[in-house]
Amino acid sequence: MDNAAPTAPPTAALAIETRRLCLWYGTFQALFDVDLRIRSGIITSLIGPSGCGKSTFLRSVNRINDRLGYVRTTGSIHVHGRDILAPDVEIIQVRRQIGMVFQRPNPLPLSVRENVIFGYLLHREARGALRREERDRIVEESLRKVLLWDSVKDHLDRKATELSLEEQQKLCIARLLPMKPHLLLMDEPCSALDPAATSAIEELLWDLRGEYTIVIVTHNMAQARRASDECIFMLMGKVVEHGETGSLFVTPAHRQTADYIEGRYG
Ligand SMILES: Nc1ncnc2c1ncn2[C@@H]1O[C@H](COP(=O)(O)OP(=O)(O)O)[C@@H](O)[C@H]1O
Ligand SMILES: [Mg+2]
Protein backbone atom coordinates (compact mmCIF):
# COMPACT_ATOMS: atom_id res chain seq x y z
CA MET A 1 0.00 0.00 0.00
CA ASP A 2 1.10 3.59 -0.05
CA ASN A 3 3.44 4.15 2.88
CA ALA A 4 5.57 1.04 2.49
CA ALA A 5 8.69 2.75 1.05
CA PRO A 6 10.51 -0.48 0.21
CA THR A 7 14.27 -0.50 0.70
CA ALA A 8 14.86 -3.88 -0.96
CA PRO A 9 12.51 -5.91 -3.13
CA PRO A 10 10.49 -8.52 -1.23
CA THR A 11 12.04 -11.94 -1.38
CA ALA A 12 10.19 -15.11 -2.30
CA ALA A 13 12.43 -17.14 0.03
CA LEU A 14 10.56 -15.58 2.90
CA ALA A 15 7.16 -17.07 3.62
CA ILE A 16 5.85 -13.81 5.05
CA GLU A 17 7.33 -10.35 4.88
CA THR A 18 5.50 -7.37 6.32
CA ARG A 19 6.57 -3.74 6.21
CA ARG A 20 5.14 -1.14 8.51
CA LEU A 21 1.95 -3.11 8.80
CA CYS A 22 -0.67 -1.19 10.78
CA LEU A 23 -4.24 -2.27 11.37
CA TRP A 24 -7.23 -0.49 12.87
CA TYR A 25 -10.56 -1.88 14.01
CA GLY A 26 -12.57 1.28 13.51
CA THR A 27 -10.61 3.88 15.48
CA PHE A 28 -8.79 1.32 17.62
CA GLN A 29 -5.28 0.57 16.40
CA ALA A 30 -4.37 -3.10 16.95
CA LEU A 31 -1.09 -3.37 14.99
CA PHE A 32 1.70 -0.77 14.91
CA ASP A 33 4.39 -0.81 12.20
CA VAL A 34 4.87 -4.54 12.22
CA ASP A 35 8.01 -5.45 10.26
CA LEU A 36 8.44 -9.19 10.13
CA ARG A 37 10.41 -11.58 7.97
CA ILE A 38 9.21 -15.12 8.55
CA ARG A 39 11.35 -17.78 6.92
CA SER A 40 10.06 -20.62 4.78
CA GLY A 41 10.08 -24.22 5.90
CA ILE A 42 10.45 -23.62 9.63
CA ILE A 43 8.12 -23.30 12.59
CA THR A 44 7.75 -19.79 13.99
CA SER A 45 5.86 -19.26 17.22
CA LEU A 46 4.06 -16.06 18.06
CA ILE A 47 3.77 -15.24 21.76
CA GLY A 48 2.61 -12.34 23.89
CA PRO A 49 -0.09 -11.43 26.40
CA SER A 50 -3.75 -11.75 25.52
CA GLY A 51 -4.91 -8.87 23.33
CA CYS A 52 -1.44 -8.00 21.96
CA GLY A 53 -2.48 -8.67 18.36
CA LYS A 54 -1.34 -12.22 17.64
CA SER A 55 -4.63 -13.34 16.11
CA THR A 56 -5.03 -10.05 14.30
CA PHE A 57 -1.64 -10.56 12.69
CA LEU A 58 -2.45 -14.13 11.60
CA ARG A 59 -5.83 -13.11 10.25
CA SER A 60 -4.21 -10.33 8.23
CA VAL A 61 -1.94 -12.79 6.49
CA ASN A 62 -4.82 -14.63 4.87
CA ARG A 63 -7.03 -11.60 4.75
CA ILE A 64 -9.78 -12.88 7.02
CA ASN A 65 -9.97 -9.45 8.65
CA ASP A 66 -11.27 -8.11 5.35
CA ARG A 67 -14.63 -9.63 6.17
CA LEU A 68 -15.10 -6.94 8.77
CA GLY A 69 -16.12 -3.74 7.07
CA TYR A 70 -14.52 -1.53 9.71
CA VAL A 71 -10.95 -2.84 9.38
CA ARG A 72 -8.31 -0.62 7.77
CA THR A 73 -4.78 -1.73 6.96
CA THR A 74 -1.69 0.21 5.85
CA GLY A 75 1.78 -1.06 5.02
CA SER A 76 2.48 -4.23 3.07
CA ILE A 77 2.24 -7.99 3.41
CA HIS A 78 4.09 -10.22 1.00
CA VAL A 79 3.55 -13.96 1.03
CA HIS A 80 6.28 -15.76 -0.91
CA GLY A 81 7.15 -12.49 -2.59
CA ARG A 82 3.59 -11.71 -3.62
CA ASP A 83 1.85 -8.56 -2.42
CA ILE A 84 -1.38 -9.93 -0.98
CA LEU A 85 -2.88 -6.50 -0.35
CA ALA A 86 -2.58 -5.53 -4.02
CA PRO A 87 -5.92 -4.52 -5.50
CA ASP A 88 -5.74 -7.14 -8.26
CA VAL A 89 -4.96 -10.05 -5.96
CA GLU A 90 -7.50 -12.86 -5.87
CA ILE A 91 -8.40 -13.63 -2.29
CA ILE A 92 -9.44 -17.16 -3.20
CA GLN A 93 -5.94 -17.81 -4.55
CA VAL A 94 -4.33 -16.35 -1.45
CA ARG A 95 -6.45 -18.49 0.84
CA ARG A 96 -5.86 -21.66 -1.16
CA GLN A 97 -2.14 -21.39 -0.48
CA ILE A 98 -2.59 -20.62 3.18
CA GLY A 99 -4.24 -23.04 5.58
CA MET A 100 -5.66 -21.89 8.88
CA VAL A 101 -6.26 -23.88 12.06
CA PHE A 102 -8.23 -22.45 14.98
CA GLN A 103 -8.37 -22.87 18.76
CA ARG A 104 -11.27 -25.25 18.77
CA PRO A 105 -11.32 -27.97 16.14
CA ASN A 106 -14.11 -27.09 13.70
CA PRO A 107 -14.76 -30.09 11.47
CA LEU A 108 -17.82 -29.95 9.25
CA PRO A 109 -20.79 -32.05 10.41
CA LEU A 110 -19.95 -34.59 7.72
CA SER A 111 -18.04 -37.86 7.58
CA VAL A 112 -14.29 -38.05 8.14
CA ARG A 113 -13.77 -38.74 4.43
CA GLU A 114 -15.96 -35.82 3.33
CA ASN A 115 -14.14 -33.46 5.67
CA VAL A 116 -10.81 -34.27 4.04
CA ILE A 117 -12.05 -33.88 0.49
CA PHE A 118 -14.48 -30.98 0.92
CA GLY A 119 -12.07 -28.06 0.48
CA TYR A 120 -10.31 -29.80 -2.35
CA LEU A 121 -13.56 -30.23 -4.30
CA LEU A 122 -14.43 -26.61 -3.66
CA HIS A 123 -11.10 -25.28 -4.88
CA ARG A 124 -10.12 -27.67 -7.61
CA GLU A 125 -9.84 -26.32 -11.09
CA ALA A 126 -10.79 -29.46 -13.01
CA ARG A 127 -14.48 -29.91 -13.79
CA GLY A 128 -16.43 -33.15 -13.61
CA ALA A 129 -16.63 -35.85 -10.99
CA LEU A 130 -13.55 -36.81 -9.06
CA ARG A 131 -12.62 -40.44 -9.76
CA ARG A 132 -13.17 -42.63 -6.74
CA GLU A 133 -9.60 -43.97 -6.70
CA GLU A 134 -8.26 -40.44 -6.90
CA ARG A 135 -10.48 -39.34 -4.04
CA ASP A 136 -9.47 -42.33 -1.91
CA ARG A 137 -5.81 -41.65 -2.63
CA ILE A 138 -6.09 -38.01 -1.53
CA VAL A 139 -7.99 -38.95 1.62
CA GLU A 140 -5.48 -41.63 2.60
CA GLU A 141 -2.44 -39.50 1.84
CA SER A 142 -3.75 -36.55 3.85
CA LEU A 143 -4.75 -38.66 6.83
CA ARG A 144 -1.39 -40.45 6.82
CA LYS A 145 0.42 -37.11 6.84
CA VAL A 146 -1.31 -36.09 10.06
CA LEU A 147 -0.73 -39.51 11.64
CA LEU A 148 -4.46 -40.21 11.76
CA TRP A 149 -4.87 -42.87 9.09
CA ASP A 150 -4.38 -45.93 11.29
CA SER A 151 -6.99 -44.89 13.81
CA VAL A 152 -9.68 -43.81 11.35
CA LYS A 153 -9.17 -45.95 8.27
CA ASP A 154 -11.98 -48.31 9.26
CA HIS A 155 -14.34 -45.47 10.17
CA LEU A 156 -14.09 -43.08 7.24
CA ASP A 157 -17.88 -42.79 7.08
CA ARG A 158 -18.18 -41.89 10.73
CA LYS A 159 -19.16 -38.35 11.60
CA ALA A 160 -16.06 -36.27 12.19
CA THR A 161 -17.67 -34.63 15.20
CA GLU A 162 -17.63 -38.01 16.98
CA LEU A 163 -13.84 -38.19 16.96
CA SER A 164 -11.78 -37.18 20.00
CA LEU A 165 -10.67 -33.54 20.12
CA GLU A 166 -7.12 -34.51 19.23
CA GLU A 167 -8.35 -36.49 16.23
CA GLN A 168 -10.63 -33.61 15.20
CA GLN A 169 -7.75 -31.14 15.29
CA LYS A 170 -5.57 -33.51 13.25
CA LEU A 171 -8.45 -33.84 10.80
CA CYS A 172 -8.69 -30.04 10.56
CA ILE A 173 -5.03 -30.01 9.55
CA ALA A 174 -5.48 -32.97 7.17
CA ARG A 175 -8.26 -31.23 5.26
CA LEU A 176 -5.93 -28.35 4.36
CA LEU A 177 -3.31 -30.57 2.76
CA PRO A 178 -5.09 -31.56 -0.49
CA MET A 179 -5.00 -27.89 -1.53
CA LYS A 180 -1.20 -28.03 -1.23
CA PRO A 181 -0.82 -24.92 0.89
CA HIS A 182 2.67 -23.52 1.46
CA LEU A 183 1.84 -21.93 4.71
CA LEU A 184 -0.09 -23.17 7.74
CA LEU A 185 -1.29 -20.58 10.25
CA MET A 186 -2.34 -22.01 13.60
CA ASP A 187 -4.05 -19.92 16.24
CA GLU A 188 -3.57 -21.67 19.61
CA PRO A 189 -4.34 -25.06 18.03
CA CYS A 190 -3.78 -26.96 21.27
CA SER A 191 -5.72 -24.78 23.67
CA ALA A 192 -8.69 -27.16 23.76
CA LEU A 193 -6.50 -30.27 24.09
CA ASP A 194 -5.11 -32.19 27.06
CA PRO A 195 -1.34 -32.56 27.50
CA ALA A 196 -1.13 -35.93 25.68
CA ALA A 197 -3.07 -34.60 22.69
CA THR A 198 -0.97 -31.44 22.75
CA SER A 199 2.23 -33.39 22.47
CA ALA A 200 0.72 -35.48 19.67
CA ILE A 201 -0.01 -32.28 17.72
CA GLU A 202 3.47 -30.91 18.44
CA GLU A 203 4.97 -34.13 17.11
CA LEU A 204 2.87 -33.74 14.01
CA LEU A 205 4.10 -30.17 13.50
CA TRP A 206 7.69 -31.38 13.53
CA ASP A 207 6.73 -33.95 10.91
CA LEU A 208 5.17 -31.30 8.66
CA ARG A 209 8.04 -28.90 9.16
CA GLY A 210 10.19 -28.42 6.07
CA GLU A 211 7.42 -29.25 3.64
CA TYR A 212 5.26 -26.50 5.12
CA THR A 213 5.98 -23.20 6.76
CA ILE A 214 4.15 -23.09 10.08
CA VAL A 215 3.29 -20.06 12.18
CA ILE A 216 1.78 -21.03 15.51
CA VAL A 217 0.26 -18.70 18.10
CA THR A 218 0.56 -20.09 21.59
CA HIS A 219 0.18 -18.84 25.13
CA ASN A 220 2.06 -21.88 26.34
CA MET A 221 5.70 -20.90 26.86
CA ALA A 222 6.85 -24.49 27.12
CA GLN A 223 5.19 -25.21 23.81
CA ALA A 224 6.79 -22.24 22.07
CA ARG A 225 10.13 -23.36 23.39
CA ARG A 226 9.75 -27.01 22.44
CA ALA A 227 7.93 -26.63 19.20
CA SER A 228 9.44 -23.74 17.23
CA ASP A 229 12.65 -22.75 15.46
CA GLU A 230 12.07 -19.03 15.75
CA CYS A 231 9.91 -17.03 18.08
CA ILE A 232 8.26 -13.62 17.88
CA PHE A 233 7.26 -11.74 21.02
CA MET A 234 4.55 -9.09 20.65
CA LEU A 235 3.28 -6.53 23.11
CA MET A 236 0.42 -4.07 22.62
CA GLY A 237 0.34 -4.42 18.84
CA LYS A 238 4.10 -4.16 18.35
CA VAL A 239 6.82 -6.68 17.70
CA VAL A 240 9.27 -6.46 20.57
CA GLU A 241 11.62 -9.23 19.57
CA HIS A 242 12.06 -11.90 16.90
CA GLY A 243 14.84 -14.43 17.04
CA GLU A 244 15.94 -18.02 17.25
CA THR A 245 13.72 -19.65 19.88
CA GLY A 246 16.53 -21.02 22.07
CA SER A 247 18.28 -17.69 22.39
CA LEU A 248 15.08 -15.68 22.79
CA PHE A 249 14.23 -17.77 25.84
CA VAL A 250 17.72 -18.00 27.28
CA THR A 251 19.05 -14.53 26.54
CA PRO A 252 16.17 -12.26 25.51
CA ALA A 253 17.37 -8.97 24.08
CA HIS A 254 14.60 -6.94 25.71
CA ARG A 255 13.48 -6.52 29.27
CA GLN A 256 9.82 -6.86 28.24
CA THR A 257 10.51 -10.25 26.66
CA ALA A 258 12.24 -11.44 29.81
CA ASP A 259 9.34 -10.22 31.94
CA TYR A 260 6.83 -12.07 29.79
CA ILE A 261 8.64 -15.38 29.58
CA GLU A 262 9.23 -15.29 33.31
CA GLY A 263 5.48 -14.91 33.80
CA ARG A 264 5.31 -11.30 34.96
CA TYR A 265 2.44 -10.45 32.56
CA GLY A 266 -1.07 -11.93 32.69
N1 LIG B 1 -13.06 -8.05 15.47
C2 LIG B 1 -12.56 -7.13 16.30
N3 LIG B 1 -13.13 -5.93 16.43
C4 LIG B 1 -12.63 -4.99 17.25
N5 LIG B 1 -11.53 -5.17 18.01
C6 LIG B 1 -10.90 -6.35 17.92
C7 LIG B 1 -11.38 -7.40 17.08
N8 LIG B 1 -10.56 -8.46 17.20
C9 LIG B 1 -9.61 -8.09 18.09
N10 LIG B 1 -9.81 -6.85 18.52
C11 LIG B 1 -8.97 -6.11 19.49
O12 LIG B 1 -7.65 -6.04 18.95
C13 LIG B 1 -6.70 -6.29 19.96
C14 LIG B 1 -5.86 -7.49 19.56
O15 LIG B 1 -6.67 -8.65 19.61
P16 LIG B 1 -6.18 -10.07 19.17
O17 LIG B 1 -5.48 -9.98 17.87
O18 LIG B 1 -7.34 -10.99 19.25
O19 LIG B 1 -5.11 -10.41 20.32
P20 LIG B 1 -4.46 -11.80 20.76
O21 LIG B 1 -4.75 -12.82 19.73
O22 LIG B 1 -3.01 -11.50 20.92
O23 LIG B 1 -5.08 -12.14 22.10
C24 LIG B 1 -7.46 -6.48 21.25
O25 LIG B 1 -7.48 -5.25 21.94
C26 LIG B 1 -8.84 -6.88 20.80
O27 LIG B 1 -9.83 -6.46 21.72
MG1 LIG C 1 -5.82 -14.64 19.86
Report pLDDT digits (tens) over 216-259: 999 999 999 999 999 999 999 999 999 999 999 999 999 999 99
- Does 257 contact ligand 1 (Cβ within 6 A)? no
User: Regarding beta strands 183-187 and 98-101, do their DSSP bridges make them parallel or antiparallel, or are they unpaired?
Assistant: parallel
213 found inside a domain: no
- Does 23 contact ligand 1 (Cβ within 6 A)? no
195 found inside a domain: no
Q: 44: exposed, middle or buried (C-beta count within 10 Å: 0-12, 13-18, 19+)?
A: buried
Ligand nearest to the CA of residue 189, numbered in listed order: 2
Q: Which domain holds residue 169?
A: 106-180
133 found inside a domain: yes
pTM of the model: 0.93
9 found inside a domain: no
Nearest residue by C-alpha to atom 12 in ligand 1: 30
158 found inside a domain: yes
What span, in angstroms and rounded, lies between the C-alpha atoms of 232 and 235? 10
Nearest residue by C-alpha to atom 2 in ligand 1: 25
159 found inside a domain: yes
User: Regarding beta strands 238-244 and 98-101, do their DSSP bridges make them parallel or antiparallel, or are they unpaired?
Assistant: unpaired
What span, in angstroms and rounded, lies between the C-alpha atoms of 16 and 39? 7
The count of structural domains within the chain is: 1
Per-residue pLDDT of 2-55, as tens digits, reads 454 456 777 768 999 999 999 999 999 999 999 999 999 999 999 999 999 999
- Does 96 contact ligand 1 (Cβ within 6 A)? no
Per-residue pLDDT of 46-88, as tens digits, reads 999 999 999 999 999 999 988 888 999 999 999 999 999 998 9
pLDDT, position 67: 85
H/E stretch holding 73: strand 71-79
Rounded to 5°, the CA angle 35-98-80 comes to 50
pLDDT, position 2: 45
pLDDT, position 12: 66
Please state, rounded to an integer, the average pLDDT across all residues of the chain.
92
Per-residue pLDDT of 151-204, as tens digits, reads 999 999 999 999 999 999 999 999 999 999 999 999 999 999 999 999 999 999
pLDDT, position 265: 74
- Does 7 contact ligand 1 (Cβ within 6 A)? no
Own/partner contacts of 7-11, CB < 8 Å, gap of 24 or more, are 10/76, 10/78, 10/81, 10/83, 11/81
211 found inside a domain: no
pLDDT, position 4: 47
4 found inside a domain: no
